[in-house]
């Protein structure tokens, strides 16, 4: 068992409940962790035997470009597509940070963490 991760992926996107968030957008940071059995890739040096993090990045990017209200929903959409691409994934964790959320005070970021299969039971 091993883990393929992308950490600190940054996007400017328009997710949120408030009109200002949808109009002005905000900075987001995404971390993605995919746990899978990649022993075959360790031996055969073949990208087809593991999780292609380029593909995982493209999945995240495509969802960041489509505004949603809730970060929980956004993480779920990413997990759904990663599972479709890598159905043998044992665990997928998506962490999304919204920098400077519109809360009327100083907050570095709000964070949502969604884990498959843990949050899907």
Kindly report the pTM of this predicted structure: 0.94
Q: What's the CA gap between 12 and 52, in Å, rounded? A: 23
CA-angle at 42, arms to 36 and 43, nearest 5°: 130
Q: b/e per residue, 89-105, with b = 16+ CB within 10 A?
A: beebbbbbbbeebeeee
Which residues are known to be catalytic? 98
* Domain map (residue ranges) of the chain: 2-120
At 21 the pLDDT is 86
At 36 the pLDDT is 95
- 2-120 has which fold? GTP Cyclohydrolase I, domain 2 (3.30.1130)
Q: Could you report the average pLDDT of every consecutive run of 10 residues in the chain (121 residues)? A: 96 93 94 96 95 98 97 98 97 97 90 96 76
At 28 the pLDDT is 98
At 97 the pLDDT is 98
At 104 the pLDDT is 86
């Amino acid at each position: 068992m091993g883990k393929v991760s992308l950490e600190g992926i940054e996007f400017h996107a328009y997710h949120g409940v408030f009109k200002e968030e949808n109009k002005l957008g905000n900075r987001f940071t995404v971390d993605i962790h995919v746990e899978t059995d990649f022993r075959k890739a360790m031996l055969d040096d073949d990208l087809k035997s593991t999780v292609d993090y380029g593909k995982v990045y493209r999945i995240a990017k495509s969802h960041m470009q489509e505004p949603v209200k809730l970060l929980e929903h956004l993480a779920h959409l990413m997990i759904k597509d990663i599972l479709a691409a890598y159905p043998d994934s044992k665990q997928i964790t998506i962490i999304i940070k919204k920098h400077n959320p519109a809360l009327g005070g100083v907050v570095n970021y709000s964070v949502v963490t969604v884990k498959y299969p843990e949050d899907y039971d």
